[in-house]
Chain A
């Protein structure tokens, strides 16, 4: 089936550790995004990528890093520099970033710092 696959669904991290969230899509989309969702705050954009080997910071990029080596994959690393990493993370993709393109979301990953 076509879609966006995020893994793992649940992840626990000790303070001071980096952790990488996986996002894979088989929709042949050029653009991919990472959002963070906190209770009562809606979604906030972390990073986005319009094309392979290119990515841009969103509103809350500090403490996060990404790579886009393949069209299908856009992993997000939550580094130890992220002060409050416990949240629900959502990956998304679209044909392009222009208005009018439907943006599809994965099922999300829960990250808890213990």
Chain B
């Protein structure tokens, strides 16, 4: 079965620093989603990538999908305490049997 590996599992940064979270699949990604979650709350949609080499940005967050469509990265520039939370990547496996599989998440702490 297709699995998503996220790294690192947790990350502590000082406010203002840049950071990157990675999401790697064992197979080709048909669609890759990035979400943010506060503990005990719902997931907030950030971005969705489909094409190899695609890059999208929203405010200070940029997500990229590599050309081989097996790895995605989420980059935050000049982090703020509001960026703290759990970041989850999810991938659509394709085919007639729907399945959206998520990684285990990356816990981000931003210290003021």
Residue numbers of A with Cβ under 8 A of B are 4, 6, 31, 33, 35, 40-43, 45, 48, 50, 56, 58-59, 88, 90, 92, 97, 99-100, 102-108, 110
Contacts and interface: CB of A to CB of B under 8 A. Distances in A.
B42 A45 contact: no
Interface residues of B, number: 25
Given A40-B104, A42-B102, A43-B88, A100 B43 contact: no
Q: Which 5 A-B pairs have the closest CB atoms?
A: A99-B31, A97-B98, A99-B92, A42-B104, A105-B43
A104 B45 contact: yes
B41 interface: yes
Contacts of B99: 45, 58-59
Interface of B: 30-31, 33, 35, 40-45, 48, 50, 88, 90, 92, 94, 97-105
Given A105-B42, A106-B42, 16 more contacts: A4-B42, A33-B100, A42-B88, A42-B103, A56-B98, A59-B99, A88-B40, A90-B42, A90-B43, A97-B98, A99-B30, A99-B94, A102-B45, A103-B90, A103-B100, A108-B41
